[in-house]
Chain A
Amino acid sequence: KNQVEQSPQSLIILEGKNCTLQCNYTVSPFSNLRWYKQDTGRGPVSLTIMTFSENTKSNGRYTATLDADTKQSSLHITASQLSDSASYICVVSGSNDYKLSFGAGTTVTVRA
């Protein structure tokens, strides 16, 4: 069973609107959680990283939250742009720092 579950699997939003992606994980012990953005035909690129003690982290219009007690994270995209169309992947690092647990990703499509 995958230790990182993401929802929704995909979503479509209109340009300028906001959206929130969810990530639930069971990885334990926990080291850090990253959100990656993967454009079509490209490799994933890190957007944010949060450790156990951090609740929120922003990167421009992207804001990630983390609740380490409930093992949940979210990624909020504000005022979406066409360039936000991509797959967003939640990645959790446990005690074994090189071996990451990947969610299946949420595909976001922003339409004009």
Chain B
Amino acid sequence: GAGVSQSPSNKVTEKGKDVELRCDPISGHTALYWYRQSLGQGLEFLIYFQGNSAPDKSGLPSDRFSAERTGGSVSTLTIQRTQQEDSAVYLCASSFDPRTGNEQFFGPGTRLTVL
């Protein structure tokens, strides 16, 4: 596809369940980012991938959060034992080499609701 895609678009889950969020970046983009957007707040950085490695995962809020990227393309963000405070929109973005100041292109996000 032409842009970053994410799935599912919406996810409703019960507290304590695990969820997986998927991101398909723009073809050829080496960098991939995950953000969390809560109502009325700015985007919160979660993790950055360069290729398949994650040089910066400092934004992951707890050890319940993990992410992986395979083949330098698709990434999955996993939240284990979800809590109500995990409810938010999770955005994925991709770019060419960020060292050259390249624009990050965002996907439409996954809206997660934890009941």
A43-B4, A44-B106, A49-B103 known; A105 vs B42 contact (CB < 8 Å): yes
A43-B91, A45-B106, A49-B103 known; A98 vs B56 contact (CB < 8 Å): yes
A interface residues, tally (CB under 8 Å): 24
Chain B residues with CB below 8 A from A44, complex form: 43, 91, 106
Interface majority SS (helix, strand, loop, mixed), chain A: loop
Chain B residues with CB below 8 A from A99, complex form: 45, 48, 56
Q: Please give the distance in Å from A86's CB to the nearest CB on chain B.
A: 13
Contacts between the two chains (Cβ within 8 Å), count? 52
- Cα–Cα, bound, A70→B104 (Å): 26
B interface residues, tally (CB under 8 Å): 24
Looking at the complex, which one of B42, B95, B107 makes contact with A43 (CB distance below 8 Å)?
B107
- Cα–Cα, bound, A34→B101 (Å): 11
Contacting B at CB under 8 A, from A32-74, are: 32, 34, 41-46, 49
Q: A: which residues have CB within 8 A of B?
A: 2, 4, 9, 31-32, 34, 41-46, 49, 89, 93, 97-105
